[in-house]
């Protein structure tokens, strides 16, 4: 049996994902998980060489959600 709190939490997560998708923000976090809201969208600026430097040596929470933040955390 599920509680109303679980449904509310799911609605908030979906609302957050929907908002980031509408803002063309491809990545978002859900706890420790990185979610790609639209992995097929072409956003060339996400993977330029300089973007690596934005995340190098930084904590995941100090920058916008990105695959490079996850990589930095994994290898730190």
What DSSP line would sit under 30-46, residue for residue?
ETTEEEES-TTS--GGG
E strands present in 1-76: 27-30, 33-36
Which pTM does this prediction carry?
0.74
Whole-number Å distance between alpha carbons of 32 and 1: 26
Phi and psi angles of residue 19, each rounded to the nearest 5 degrees, phi first? -65, -45
Q: Residue 45 is encoded by which pair of tokens? A: 């600026």
Instruction: Provide block-wise average pLDDT over 10 residues at a time, the chain (76 residues).
Output: 59 87 87 85 85 92 92 88
């Amino acid at each position: 049996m599920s509680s109303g709190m679980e449904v509310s939490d799911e609605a908030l997560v979906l609302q957050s994902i929907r908002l980031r998708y509408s803002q063309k923000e491809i990545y978002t976090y859900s706890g420790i998980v990185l979610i790609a809201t639209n992995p097929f969208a072409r956003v060339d600026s996400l993977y330029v060489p300089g973007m690596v430097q934005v995340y190098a040596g930084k904590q995941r929470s100090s920058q916008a959600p990105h695959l490079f933040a996850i990589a930095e955390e994994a290898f730190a």
